[in-house]
Amino acid sequence: MQASAGISISGLDASCSVTIRTGSSINRKNQRMLENIPLFSGLTGEEISQLEHCATVRTYPRHAVIINEGDETDALYVLISGRTRVYMCNEEGKEIILNELGPGEHFGELALVDDAPRSASVMALEKSRVSVISRQDFRKVLEHNSDMAFSLIRYLSRRIRVLSDNVRNLALLDVYGRVARLLLDLAQDIDGQLTIPQRPTQQELANRIGASREMVARILKDLETGGYISITRKQIVINEKLPERY
């Protein structure tokens, strides 16, 4: 397989160089990663080895587009290292961010069960390595493992619930409510402090909640002035419970 050049990223043209290793097997560390993914939890060691043998490992540089919305592809992607962003973009270049993924997470599951084009684009936020498993190889394992079929159904059900929550938030919460909810969703408990590592930009936050950068900037500034959050170059710390209303 070959990677295409001149891929559109958020309305801009960017050439990307992709290193592809077809037919190579994943090392033991990456096999353990497959074993720890809930989707594959019902597989035997032999079945994991079958997937490992069939997988293709690809390396993408920062800002390379791994999947384009509308692509006719038929594979599952498991992120071995790096970070990726799942997003949608209209003809004018306006972008909405659906999710960001790290090592051990996966994307492209819908291609395993239907023949529709890709519903969203995926871009590497840093140098990333992914294991690509074709639909044909995945289904060979799936046919003999009902537990894996139920795992896939459970995962897709969770996706539907998350999407339902997102629609509810967009419809029922004002911009402040969506900012506050997103900050809490992104925060991790680090040493007893709610912290958002790898601080997203104001535009990235705006793209995730369907708001303007200017409005997000004003809300963040007011929260910081009120002592509710602290913002540094690398992170955002939530110091106390965020106000219910703006």
pTM to 2 decimal places: 0.72
Structure tokens at 174: 């004002």
Question: What pLDDT sits at residue 28?
Answer: 65
CA distances from 172 to 175, 178, 189, 194 (A): 10, 9, 27, 25
Task: Using the CB atoms, write b or e for 146-155: b if 16+ within 10 Å.
Answer: eebeebbeee
Q: Give the residue from 49, 51, 50, 57 showing the smallest Cα distance to 23.
A: 57
* Average pLDDT per 10 consecutive residues for the chain, totaling 246 residues: 35 37 50 74 76 87 95 88 93 87 89 84 95 87 78 82 84 93 95 93 94 96 96 95 90
Confidence (pLDDT) at 168: 85
Around Cβ 136, how many Cβ atoms within 10 Å? 10
Task: Please answer whether residues 205 and 182 qualify as being in contact, where contact means their C-beta atoms are separated by less than 8 angstroms.
Answer: yes
Q: How far apart are the first and last CA of the chain?
A: 52
